[in-house]
Structure 1
Amino acid sequence: MFTFAIGIAVIAALCLALGTHLQHRAVSGAADTHAAVTHTPTAGTTPPPPRRLVGLLRSPLWLLGLGLLTLETGLNMVALGLAPVALVQPIGTLSLVAAVFLGSRTSRSPRPPARSVLGGIGLTLLSTGLFVGVSAQWSTAPEAAAPDLLTLTFLLLGIAGLGTAVALSAVGHAARIVTAGVLFGLVATGAHALLHALAGSGAGSWVAPAHVVLLIGLIAGSIVGMWIVQTAYASGPPETVLAGLTVIDPLTAVVVGAAVLGEYSTMPLLVVLVLLLTGASAVAGVLLLVRVHPDVVRTGSPVEHQSPTPARQTSPPRQTPPARQPAPALHGAQPTDTRE
């Protein structure tokens, strides 16, 4: 069963990488078209307007990517049902590696990834694997009481409001992927707590108001998270978006689960320090990847810092030399030389 779950998780990771790559191509292509029509600078300075993002629903490439991402979610749920999270979750970070090589092969000038990019990926994968593997050993059932669910709902709605401001602002690529990762981590934690609370209430019991409010928060958080991800596609490569989602998401889920839902309550202090170290290392790997990736370096620089195209110099009109006058007779004397 574990071998079967690993195979499903690998297929899910490939679907995540390919779906992200397709959606990124659709969003960036729409951004280039919008910039060409409106004569505005492309990615990195302003987010795409919501109207243009809604227009992506008519893009076959974007819809194909959405289908692959939906398939990835289903396959990952099956894998988590067959094997422990410590075994399945680190496999999801393989999507980052697949996205890097997929992007390098499909670019206009194919070339292998730079060593700095590979270094950021390696640091991210190793740190995330250690973080998930250690934290999963101390996970306990969440205390899904009504006050805890309401606290989680307020967190979801607050971060969703902040995410809306980020999506509409002109902040950089790193801020977008960190916000999206935190928001999706809250959504995963809320879904986990809601399912646990519904299972504990028993069949035939009434749904509590806290469950309904949390469900509304989950829907709002998912919509805003998808919106931020689409704006991140327009301001950077898919590899960095995947890095943020596959790293910030589980880090947020563990922190919120421990602080709000009472998970990991039996974790020793030494293990907490190990998690803090590996979590900080994983975030550093994501930020390093964002900093050194050539697509972010090329599109993230402000327009005013780019070398402007020199204005075309217009040469002054050529003056027609005056008509040559016949030299006067000087009775054998040489004319005066007036040349400078």
Structure 2
Amino acid sequence: MGSSAGTWLVLAVPAAVAGAAAMGLASAAQARATKEVEVTRILDPGLLRGLARRPLWLIGMVATGAGLALQLVALAFAPLLVVQPLLITSLMFASVFSARLERHPADTVMVAGSLICAAGLAAFLVIARPSGNAGAIRPGTHPLPLAIALATLTVVALVVSTLTRSASVRVLGLAVATGVLYGVTAGLMKVVAGQARDDLAEPFRNWTLYLVCLVGPLGFLLSQNTFQQGRFLAPALAVITALDPLVGVAIGVWWMGEKANDAPLALAGEAVAGAVVIVGIVLLSTRASRLARAQSTEDDEDLFGASEGAV
């Protein structure tokens, strides 16, 4: 990257991290609020009507708006390959905020899993050395194969989450669909940000903005379903925050011509960094399952004790 690009990164990276913090707060607030309303069907807009009467959810919406605005600023001046991976830090912020909202100390294993994800992310950025900052889809590209693959993954994830009887599989399917839609939204927002940087009226003359207005709310509604269905925030959010940057990076490379270090040793290092992120996600999911089982056992014991007392 040149010196001018480095100057812009000084603005873009803090904006991306601050946006991740805002999104972490939003996720924690919305996840808690979704537990306070009636469970609805997947993609039922009625869920949002119930949530709109919850002050905590409204706080989450304000944080979401702030996070999206900061992300848009970051995308205007830095490649998707830089901005999107930084969003995984929202997982750490969400863990902290969730613990504060629940009024209990953060689980050390959950924190460790979040830190492992962040370490893998940092290693990826250092090794990949992303470059390129196109503000539009590169001419001559063939966006259809990637678009079909992402659409197929989203549909399959939704079908699985609808048909399965397993709560954990249902949450996983919802999280996968949410992560894909969030990544697509970020890629399209990159194009919108590039258009707006040249002319504020330009986005309104292109289809990209209107597609964002369709895909973005759909992903948001799915995220609320995911938070409501999952007992713990961290595992589902880990899947979302891992898939979001992966999809964003794929769009940046495939559609916009962004580049990363592709030397053999660098590719090996990037693969290892990705594996570290996966280890963190697995650790979070495993810990959440154990805590869920322990909590269910405690609830059963409390219920048994209460029934004995009644007798």
Fold shared per TM-score above 0.5: yes
**Do the aligned partners of 1:167 and 1:227 also contact (CA within 8 Å) in 2?**
no
SS in structure 2 of the partner of residue 264 of structure 1 = coil
In 1, the alpha carbon distance for the partners of 2:260 and 2:91 equals 31
> Given residue 187 of structure 1, which amino acid in structure 2 is its aligned partner?
T
Partner residue of 1:120 out of 107, 110, 113:
113
Matched residue, 1:148 = 142
Deviation sequence 1:246-294 (CA, Å, 0-9, x none): 3221122223443455543873333223222222321231232122136
Q: Compute the displacement of 1:64 (Å).
A: 2.1
Q: Compute the displacement of 1:30 (Å).
A: 0.9
In 2, the alpha carbon distance for the partners of 1:192 and 1:80 equals 5
**Do the aligned partners of 2:82 and 2:130 also contact (CA within 8 Å) in 1?**
no
1:228 paired with 2:226, answer no
In 1, the alpha carbon distance for the partners of 2:171 and 2:74 equals 31
Partner residue of 2:20 out of 13, 21, 44:
13
> Given residue 265 of structure 2, which amino acid in structure 1 is its aligned partner?
L
Matched residue, 2:3 = none
In 1, the alpha carbon distance for the partners of 2:255 and 2:76 equals 24
Deviation sequence 1:138-189 (CA, Å, 0-9, x none): 4464753376244454445444434543564553333322332122222323
> Given residue 126 of structure 1, which amino acid in structure 2 is its aligned partner?
A
Q: Compute the displacement of 1:65 (Å).
A: 0.8
> Given residue 284 of structure 1, which amino acid in structure 2 is its aligned partner?
V
1:60 paired with 2:41, answer no
Matched residue, 1:280 = 275
Partner residue of 1:22 out of 9, 29, 34:
29
**Do the aligned partners of 2:130 and 2:258 also contact (CA within 8 Å) in 1?**
no
Q: Using structure 2 for the length normalisation, give the TM-score.
A: 0.71
In 2, the alpha carbon distance for the partners of 1:12 and 1:93 equals 11
SS in structure 2 of the partner of residue 236 of structure 1 = coil
The correspondence of residues 231-242 of structure 1 with structure 2, limited to 5 A, is 231-234=225-228, 235-242=230-237
Question: For structure 1, which segment, 67-76 or 264-273, has the greater mean C-alpha deviation from structure 2 after superposition?
Answer: 264-273
In 1, the alpha carbon distance for the partners of 2:157 and 2:249 equals 20
SS in structure 1 of the partner of residue 180 of structure 2 = helix
SS in structure 2 of the partner of residue 274 of structure 1 = helix
Matched residue, 2:170 = 172
Distance 1:284 1:14, change over 3 A: same
Distance 1:216 1:3, change over 3 A: closer
Partner residue of 1:102 out of 79, 97, 106:
97
In 2, the alpha carbon distance for the partners of 1:83 and 1:195 equals 11
Partner residue of 2:123 out of 106, 130, 147:
130
Q: Using structure 1 for the length normalisation, give the TM-score.
A: 0.66
The correspondence of residues 253-292 of structure 1 with structure 2, limited to 5 A, is 253-259=248-254, 262-264=257-259, 267-292=262-287
Q: Which runs of 5 or more structure 1 residues have no equivalent in the other structure?
A: 36-45, 314-340
Q: Compute the displacement of 1:126 (Å).
A: 0.6
Deviation sequence 1:87-142 (CA, Å, 0-9, x none): 7656544432222222223325x23423x223211210011122234334344647
Matched residue, 1:111 = 105
Distance 1:58 1:74, change over 3 A: same
SS in structure 2 of the partner of residue 25 of structure 1 = helix
Name the count of aligned residue pairs: 288
The correspondence of residues 81-92 of structure 1 with structure 2, limited to 5 A, is 81=76, 92=87
In 2, the alpha carbon distance for the partners of 1:169 and 1:299 equals 27
Question: For structure 1, which segment, 290-299 or 67-76, has the greater mean C-alpha deviation from structure 2 after superposition?
Answer: 290-299
Distance 1:81 1:61, change over 3 A: same
In 2, the alpha carbon distance for the partners of 1:193 and 1:149 equals 14
User: Based on CA coordinates, which of the two structures has the bigger radius of gyration?
Assistant: 1
SS in structure 2 of the partner of residue 172 of structure 1 = helix
**Do the aligned partners of 1:19 and 1:66 also contact (CA within 8 Å) in 2?**
yes
Higher helix share: 2
In 1, the alpha carbon distance for the partners of 2:173 and 2:74 equals 31
After superposition, the CA RMSD in angstroms is 4.2
Distance 1:255 1:293, change over 3 A: same
Matched residue, 2:241 = 246
Distance 1:164 1:87, change over 3 A: closer
